[in-house]
Structure 1
Amino acid sequence: MFGRSLRLACIASSLITKWNAYVFLRLLPSGPKYLSTIYTAAIIYIISFLLNRTAAFPKRSPKSKIVDAFISLIGGSYSSRYPLFSWLGAFITLLAPLCCLDFVYRTHLLLPESDLHFSRVGWVTNGTANLLIRKPDLKDLVLSYGPVSDERTTIQLPPASFDSDYTIPIQLENLLPDTVYHYQLNGNITGSFTTRRNHNALDKFTILSSSCLEPGWPYNPLDHPLAVKGFTHLDTIVKKMDKKPEAMLFLGDFIYSDLPAPASDYTTSYYRELYRQVYASPSWTPLLRSIPWIHMFDDHEIINDFSPDSSLESTRMFENAMEPYISYQGSVNPPPLNPSQPTYFSHEMGKVSFFILDNRSYRSTPAKRPGSNSTAGYGERSMLGQQQLKAVKDWIELQGRKEGRLLVLVSGVPVTRNWSEGRDELDSWAGYLDEREIILGELWSIGGAVIISGDRHEHATTLLPPPKDSAYPYSSAVIEFSTSPLSFFHLPWTREYVAHPPTDLPIHHQWKGDSRFGVFDFDTSGEQPQVHFELIVDGEKEWEYDWVKGKSVDIPAII
């Protein structure tokens, strides 16, 4: 009886270890949820396997011997009759927790990328370009740049400083519009960018949008641990375009400080390392580096579901995370609207005006969800803070009244409340519905607008129409395209997106796939601005949609 109990414990702990490791490494990399189970089961397995070696085995029939061999190999239990199968089964079982350790700690221990040299393109206009350069080993930095056929301009750069992790933001001025420029720094950092067409010629253009990436996902010990498959898909799609996108809007979670599991304390040094690792990825191509990337941060640049509070721990964590974000991302974004609150900004491309929200720095603590199937986001809570909300309203009033103008509000978290079945529903705008109503009312008043968002590792296109008893026609509805992740997990078995008519009407929902981004083709050449949207999933076009400002939208019968 004791021997049978040992064998059952050995088999059960082996299967638990391997199944949970598979989920953690390939489906849902949530360390806090799985790692303790994996490690505990692995320890139980080792003890039961070793004790199992001393247990006596009764005589077996030929058929039972086959079963015994199978259990030894698959279940990981010990059999004196089949020691080779037993030890092979044990090796497979113990390989699972070792792979988990490798996934969590290999890059932290072996690839901190302290000596990383790289450059990237930030905000670009028809006459200026922002570049970010990191080169920690030289003091005399000389940058030369110019069109291919013209003489190069040479400038001396300030020395790189440890205070910014040796990153240097540069703004190049007095550039020619619609021109390809090449640049070179001290002979071994090179790159290119294309300046924008003049304002009156920019009636048709393309941008990309997504959020959320993690190098090395899904885990494969044979792949480079910093490879980003989403970059490969992005590069493939851009190569097929007739003209390069004007920008890539990346809406947060460029790094994950807490997933698959934190590999260090949440220090400034740790956050810097995570940015370096993404920029050290071999998946970056010269084409991707030549696209202007515009960034906003979200919670995982700090910690999951972050909202500021008055505690010393929260303040210190936010400060530790923001310096690396500013150094690697924000320093080459468009200029801020408010120098005292530098993390939100607006910019224009032709007749399209964008406002990129900071959804984290100024938010009130979200409400607690009282139970399932409920939305508890009403009350005097603010996602944006007083000054940012006023800036959004001023932007809508100023830009929205201009003839032929299209407004695009860019939010790191979804504006729709249709992701209502998850535990973090109220982390999105569903937790701030009164303030959401204020902003939607302003957008309805100008005849409608587009919202671009990310965060949820799914895609949903959702219509947000005005109430039937409002002063605004149905055709002034706002449409939201929420798309992510660029390269990370999707939820394999939980569906959280549920319609909330009549306020939040689903047009399309897609959840399968570990890479997802949107391609937006804007056209303001006619009387009514319009947007053609394409959803790219794992490198293939999954869905497309056309939206015209002021035109009523037919809702599919999926609600």
Structure 2
Amino acid sequence: MESFSDFICVLSSTGLRAAAYVFLRWPFPPLICALFALYLVSFWQSWRHLLPYEVEKEELELVEEVTVDRRGKEKREIVERDIIVGVVKRPKIVKTLLTGLPSPSRQLWTFLTFGINVALVLMTLDVVYTPLSYPSHDLAFTRVGYVSDRSASILVREPDLSKFPLYVRYREDSVPSDKSTRKPGFSWKYAGTIHSLPQAFDYTNTYTIDRLYPDTIYQYAVANHSAYFKTAPSPGAFPSGSDKFTFLTTSCIKPRVPYVPFSHPLSIQGFRYLADLLPTLQAQFMLFLGDFIYVDVPHRHGTTAESYRREYRQVYASPDWPSVSTNNPNSLTSLPWLHVIDDHEIANDWDKNTTGVYEAAMDPWMSYHGSVNPPAAFPGQTFYSFTQGPASFFMLDTRSYRSPEVPPEELDVVKTMLGDSQYEALLAWLREPVPIGVKWKIVASSIPFTKNWRFGDQDTWAGYLDEREIILEAMWEASARRGIGIVVISGDRHEFAATEFPPPPKGKWPPSAKVTEFSVSPLSMFYLPVRTYSQQDDEDVCIKYIPDGNSKFGAIEIQTPKNSDVSELRYKLFVDGKEAWTHTLLTPPRREENSRPWW
């Protein structure tokens, strides 16, 4: 029994520690509590049967024994007697601490190794259940969403009914060199009144401030919330005083991952890395490509709309959120955030369209994100396009319209990632001419466009290659015909990879019409401990693969030298707060007008 209980004790302790380590760094459904229960039983059995002594030597001794029979007569005989010499067992500290077995002679090490496993279980429970103590019902905040050259969308959340009505005001700001020299700007202008914020929208609403000037700093105020924003430059133009147009891209956030004991339950390390770099990057906006919440990691606490709302409130209630939004102490203006949706905002690897929990998941996503995104072409659509400065953007929804992740032959219809309306809208956007000065078209996809990711590839565009091929051909044609660069940005994989999609050799498109994808994530989440990206053909060509890092984001800078038709796009990758890699692209030459178009 003793040896068997020792075996179970070591096995369960080792499994518990490994599972807890993986769980606290790379969350997945653990068996930690079950292993701990098994460990408790086996630990108790081993401890009960543990002897504190071990045999040093064993001797045989001959002794004379005297016995008396019934008649009282003595009887003498020589007998053998074993003599065992025992000593206290050595503590075996390393073995005790590594295996979780009780120490044979020192209770200190027994309690310590047992305490290690108890601490790991408590940390696991802390990660899973402590956030439930922070529902953030009283969260009140504002943030800047889509800012065009003429308007700005402001998200407002205020659950305190005593604060109503809320008056929205704004004013043009002076142009300081830094916050310390900022002076009061122009007089306040009345923008409107918010009389109530309905509970059905989790006490949120969007207010749009119109009739603004391009490339101008404004200050807005709603109740006791105030922040600054800068309108976008006119389409085709660059920000005043700069020859660069910069925007950011990333995806995937989960508070307190990787786990740090005694940190705030809603702390987000990736926000802190980003906040430190924002003043120097001077980005126009953040394109966040999904998984702003992880409703099913490490444990799903419900499927109602309120379960999803709580997750959004917790991110916005994070003590680190203001520094990457409206209140960075070293930035002159707020950072607008624009969003697309991905699976963990619904359920892992979501491919069930608008069924199941979709409606409950989209309720808060529309309230907190969709409502302050650029306007869609038609009400209710969750994909959209817009133009800012030297670039035009198309933001895809890769979850709401896709076919199930099954082989195409098992479907009664053509397998699609985008659905008919979004697919046609994307192709039309690729075909349409761009304003003067716009040199790049950026397609944002929540999941990778490349098929080089070999794990879970059916959840990516690798599972929808027929549709991808048509889109790639449209991209190559648009690039060659218009002389514009086309870039795909994506996230989801918790790794970074840059991939090139060259046109077929000796085909109708020149090599310069290539499409490049930059896929980066997470902003603050676990990274994969195994390598899942590999190039296996010449269709998807690996440029760079950087898998490690709990925090990754990309900064894209666009420059067009004076008196030049060639525009430069520079991608900068930041990993755990440091610049890790840079890559530069140039726009292709424009095809001669008398060339026959592909379409």
Q: TM-score, normalised by structure 2?
A: 0.84
Give, in whole Å, the separation in 2 of the partners of 1:271 and 1:404: 38
SS in 2 for 1:315: coil
* Structure-1 residue corresponding to 2:422: 388
- State which structure, 1 or 2, has the greater radius of gyration over its C-alpha atoms: 2
The alpha carbon displacement at 1:400 in A equals 5.8
* Structure-2 residue corresponding to 1:359: 398
Give, in whole Å, the separation in 2 of the partners of 1:97 and 1:23: 13
1:307 corresponds to which of 351, 366, 369: 351
Give, in whole Å, the separation in 2 of the partners of 1:459 and 1:174: 40
Give, in whole Å, the separation in 1 of the partners of 2:99 and 2:422: 58
1:463 corresponds to which of 468, 481, 500: 500
* Structure-1 residue corresponding to 2:187: 151
Instruction: Summarize the alignment of residues 131-280 of structure 1 with structure 2, pairs less than 5 Å apart.
Output: 131-138=154-161, 139-146=164-171, 147=173, 148-154=184-190, 155-187=192-224, 189-202=225-238, 204-241=244-281, 244-262=282-300, 264-280=301-317
CA contact (8 A) 1:210 1:249 kept: yes
RMSD over equivalenced CA pairs, Å: 2.3
Structure 1: which 4+ aligned runs deviate by more than 6 Å?
A: 61-64
* Structure-2 residue corresponding to 1:13: 12
* Structure-1 residue corresponding to 2:447: 413
Give, in whole Å, the separation in 2 of the partners of 1:401 and 1:205: 16
Give, in whole Å, the separation in 2 of the partners of 1:389 and 1:369: 17
Q: Deviations over 1:402-449 (max 9, x none)?
A: 7863211111111111112x1x10111001101001111011012251
* Structure-2 residue corresponding to 1:546: 584
SS in 2 for 1:354: strand
Identity of counterpart residues, as a percentage? 38
Give, in whole Å, the separation in 2 of the partners of 1:521 and 1:328: 28
The alpha carbon displacement at 1:56 in A equals 4.1
Q: Deviations over 1:327-374 (max 9, x none)?
A: 0001000000222x420000001231110011111101123599xxxx
SS in 1 for 2:146: strand
Alpha-carbon spacing, 1:7–1:346, altered in 2? closer, same or farther (3 Å) = same
Q: Deviations over 1:163-182 (max 9, x none)?
A: 10001111001123322222
The alpha carbon displacement at 1:145 in A equals 2.0
Q: Which moved more, 1:114-123 or 1:495-504?
A: 495-504
The alpha carbon displacement at 1:286 in A equals 4.3
2:531 counterpart of 1:531: no
Give, in whole Å, the separation in 1 of the partners of 2:294 and 2:460: 18
Give, in whole Å, the separation in 1 of the partners of 2:277 and 2:141: 23
Alpha-carbon spacing, 1:486–1:347, altered in 2? closer, same or farther (3 Å) = same
Alpha-carbon spacing, 1:462–1:76, altered in 2? closer, same or farther (3 Å) = same
Q: Letter of the 1:338 partner, please give it.
A: F
* Structure-2 residue corresponding to 1:504: 540
SS in 2 for 1:214: coil
CA contact (8 A) 2:453 2:532 kept: yes
* Structure-1 residue corresponding to 2:463: 431
The alpha carbon displacement at 1:57 in A equals 1.2
Q: Letter of the 1:548 partner, please give it.
A: L
SS in 2 for 1:21: helix
CA contact (8 A) 1:465 1:476 kept: yes
SS in 2 for 1:522: strand
1:349 corresponds to which of 366, 375, 388: 388
Instruction: Summarize the alignment of residues 83-102 of structure 1 with structure 2, pairs less than 5 Å apart.
Output: 83-102=107-126
Give, in whole Å, the separation in 1 of the partners of 2:17 and 2:516: 44
The alpha carbon displacement at 1:551 in A equals 7.0
Give, in whole Å, the separation in 1 of the partners of 2:452 and 2:104: 57
Which structure shows the bigger proportion of residues in helix conformation?
A: 1
Q: Letter of the 1:29 partner, please give it.
A: P
Give, in whole Å, the separation in 2 of the partners of 1:495 and 1:130: 41
Give, in whole Å, the separation in 2 of the partners of 1:463 and 1:286: 34
Alpha-carbon spacing, 1:414–1:287, altered in 2? closer, same or farther (3 Å) = closer
* Structure-2 residue corresponding to 1:556: none
1:316 corresponds to which of 342, 348, 356: 356
Q: Letter of the 1:386 partner, please give it.
A: D
CA contact (8 A) 1:347 1:354 kept: yes
Give, in whole Å, the separation in 1 of the partners of 2:449 and 2:88: 60
Give, in whole Å, the separation in 2 of the partners of 1:399 and 1:101: 55
Alpha-carbon spacing, 1:14–1:346, altered in 2? closer, same or farther (3 Å) = same
The alpha carbon displacement at 1:125 in A equals 1.4
Q: Letter of the 1:134 partner, please give it.
A: R
Unmatched 5+ stretches in structure 1: 371-375, 553-559
* Structure-2 residue corresponding to 1:373: none
Q: Letter of the 2:337 partner, please give it.
A: W
The alpha carbon displacement at 1:184 in A equals 2.4
Alpha-carbon spacing, 1:399–1:49, altered in 2? closer, same or farther (3 Å) = same
2:22 counterpart of 1:29: no
2:517 counterpart of 1:480: yes
Q: TM-score, normalised by structure 1?
A: 0.90
Give, in whole Å, the separation in 1 of the partners of 2:513 and 2:234: 30
Give, in whole Å, the separation in 1 of the partners of 2:166 and 2:234: 32
Alpha-carbon spacing, 1:3–1:193, altered in 2? closer, same or farther (3 Å) = same
Give, in whole Å, the separation in 1 of the partners of 2:408 and 2:267: 37
Give, in whole Å, the separation in 1 of the partners of 2:342 and 2:290: 5
Q: Deviations over 1:462-517 (max 9, x none)?
A: 1101111421111111111111111111111x211111322100111111100000
SS in 1 for 2:53: coil
The alpha carbon displacement at 1:6 in A equals 1.7
The alpha carbon displacement at 1:221 in A equals 1.9
2:53 counterpart of 1:59: yes
SS in 2 for 1:29: coil
Alpha-carbon spacing, 1:194–1:403, altered in 2? closer, same or farther (3 Å) = closer
Give, in whole Å, the separation in 1 of the partners of 2:361 and 2:140: 21
Unmatched 5+ stretches in structure 2: 57-85, 174-183, 327-333, 591-599
CA contact (8 A) 1:404 1:524 kept: no
The alpha carbon displacement at 1:524 in A equals 4.0
Give, in whole Å, the separation in 1 of the partners of 2:532 and 2:395: 26
SS in 2 for 1:449: strand
SS in 2 for 1:201: coil
